[in-house]
């Protein structure tokens, strides 16, 4: 599968540090409005745009839908 280049929204310094870290699994202790859902949805899209598989899950539908609501705004850049 061909890799795409996505135009992603700006990340703040803390999000950029997590984004750039090479670890496969990342555990963060962050405040309520830190941007964890935004960062997670952007990571999912970045991985998927390179042909990878990602999951977005949560303990309940309302919690999981938070990230899903963000994904279509960026995913419009992906052809098809």
Cβ burial 1-17 (10 Å sphere, 16+ → b, else e): eeeeeeeeeebeeebee
pLDDT (0 to 100) of residue 56: 85
> Is the whole model's pTM more than 0.95, yes or no?
no
Spans of the chain below 50 pLDDT: none
Instruction: Give the integer Cα–Cα distance in Å for 35 and 70.
Output: 12
pLDDT (0 to 100) of residue 68: 85
pLDDT (0 to 100) of residue 30: 93
């Amino acid at each position: 599968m061909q890799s795409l280049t996505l135009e992603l929204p700006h990340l703040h310094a803390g999000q950029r540090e997590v984004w750039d870290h090479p670890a496969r699994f990342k555990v963060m202790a962050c405040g309520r409005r830190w941007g964890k859902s935004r960062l997670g949805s952007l990571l999912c899209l970045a991985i998927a745009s390179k042909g990878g598989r990602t999951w977005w899950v949560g303990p309940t539908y309302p919690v999981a839908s938070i990230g899903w609501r963000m994904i279509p705004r960026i995913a419009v850049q992906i052809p098809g």
